[in-house]
Amino acid sequence: MAGEATPLMERSIGINRQLAGALDTAIERNAILRIGWTADGSEVPKDGESGLCPFLPDGARVRALGRLGPWISTGSSGSFDHRGDAGSMFGAVLQGGRLLCEGHVGHMAGWSMRGGTIVIEDGCDDDLGASMHDGLILVRGKLGKRVGNDMRGGLIVVHGDVDHDPGSGMHGGMIVIDGRCPAPGPGVTMRPLSAAELKDVNARIEDPTWQVPADAVCLVPGGAEGTPTEPRPPRANAMSGLALMPTTPFPLLPGASVDTTALLGTAPLALPLPVLPHVKNGERLRAKRSKEDVAQALAEQPFLVDEAPRAIDMLRIGEGTLEAWPSLPDAAGAVIDLGDLPPMDPESLEALLVLLTSMCEEAPEFTLLGDAGRVGHLHRWAAQHGMAAAFMDLSKR
């Protein structure tokens, strides 16, 4: 990163890199890696470390102790057990495996989850399972607002009370509640479980201590017949209005010289002004054998890409590019698309930077992408975190 990492960020990045160096051997030996204990087993609980254990592979087993921050075990397929509380985005984008938190978890746990199981034993804040695609979430204790917000699939089972707007905007999946539940809003139906549904749910849970009783209720999308609602379409031409805006107070005089290149980072990425072109896949931009002028110009032009970045490209970080996040070490840097990520406070953004930095041998260059209506907020965050640039998406105002 271009800016100074805080001591907490440095500790978090150090833990991730130490963990990465030990993962292959631990998987071969079926060993458990521990965070928060010394080599002799003495407890040294963590205190606020964030962005830990991203993209744990299948077969990995990790245990942690203490109070952890946001973005823990993002995109993982392995096993992660935590004794203590965790911050927001716990288990975001989970691909498989099993996560356990014995304490309380912050908001947006299980965001955009794709598979696997998350178990939370002491309640959760708002928006549990938001944008969830598949998988199983088991929670015991009190929940915040909007459980299953914008849910697309999967199963959430709650043994406890939930707050207002359960199932808000859901258009797939099922929420089962063994506790008090307020009436859902439009487009969501609350009803008893059928005998067949109860059997299927409990068979999926397996653990007898989490079985659902017959008097539990469920939330499903649609009207009385449970007809699913249509998901919201993705943003059309999200980057079509991308531009760099002048900050000089006066227009230039005729004949004045103008820089046509912006240099980003300490190992400069030359970004021709006024635009960073955006394509989905950077593979087709490689020059390969072609020596034609146009092909060569494209090969030398940095692009904003959603996958397969070259060494001169910037990788877009958002929900729509989740599978490409591990390819960040191949790119010149990352453009964090705030419009394609859940709402984040400064602590959550810092944790995301930890997560992404930990995946690279050298800290990448970061930039922010947001809409023009929040330009002041965008510039302030970029400056606070020492980012190389801030981009505005002018198609969203």
387 or 141, higher pLDDT: 141
Q: Can you give the pLDDT at residue 392?
A: 82
Query: What angle (nearest 5°) sits at the alpha carbon of residue 380, between those of residues 327 and 387?
Result: 30
Distance in angstroms (rounded) separating the CA atoms of residues 127 and 90: 12
- Residue pointed to by tokens 């804040």: 125
Distance in angstroms (rounded) separating the CA atoms of residues 145 and 116: 23
Long-range Cβ pairs for the range 230-236 (8 Å, 24+): 230/171, 231/152, 231/171, 231/172, 232/150, 234/320, 235/339, 235/340, 235/395, 235/396
pLDDT band at 383; cut points 50, 70, 90: confident
Residues carrying CATH 2.160.20.60, the chain? 7-221
CB 87 within 8 A of CB 107: no
Residues 6+ apart with CB under 8 A from 60: 23, 26, 27, 33, 76, 77, 78, 79, 97
Distance in angstroms (rounded) separating the CA atoms of residues 149 and 130: 5
Instruction: Quickly name the fold that domain 7-221 has.
Output: Pectate Lyase C-like (2.160.20)
Mean pLDDT, residues 47-56 taken together? 97
Q: Can you give the pLDDT at residue 155?
A: 99
CB 340 within 8 A of CB 320: yes
Query: In angstroms, what CA-CA distances link 265 with 72, 88, 302, 362, 365?
Result: 28, 30, 14, 12, 6
* Closest of 170, 172, 175, 116 to residue 143, by C-alpha: 175
Q: Is the pLDDT of residue 224 over 50?
A: no
CB 279 within 8 A of CB 285: yes
State the pTM of this model: 0.83
Tens-digit pLDDT profile for residues 62-95: 999 999 999 999 999 999 999 999 999 999 999 9
CB 30 within 8 A of CB 8: no
Q: Is the pLDDT of residue 3 over 80?
A: no
> What is the share, in percent, of the chain residues with pLDDT greater than 70?
80
Tens-digit pLDDT profile for residues 336-382: 999 999 999 889 999 999 999 999 988 889 999 988 777 888 888 88
Q: Is the pLDDT of residue 115 over 50?
A: yes
Other C-beta atoms lying within 10 Å of the C-beta of residue 242:
19
pLDDT band at 225; cut points 50, 70, 90: very low
CB 57 within 8 A of CB 77: yes
CB 91 within 8 A of CB 64: no
Distance in angstroms (rounded) separating the CA atoms of residues 222 and 272: 49
pLDDT band at 286; cut points 50, 70, 90: low
pLDDT band at 14; cut points 50, 70, 90: very high
Task: Give the CB-side neighbour count of residue 163, counting CA atoms within 13 A.
Answer: 15
* Closest of 158, 157, 218, 153 to residue 189, by C-alpha: 218
Mean pLDDT, residues 291-307 taken together? 76
* Closest of 326, 271, 277 to residue 305, by C-alpha: 277
Query: What angle (nearest 5°) sits at the alpha carbon of residue 380, between those of residues 379 and 385?
Result: 100
Residues 6+ apart with CB under 8 A from 48: 8, 67, 68, 69
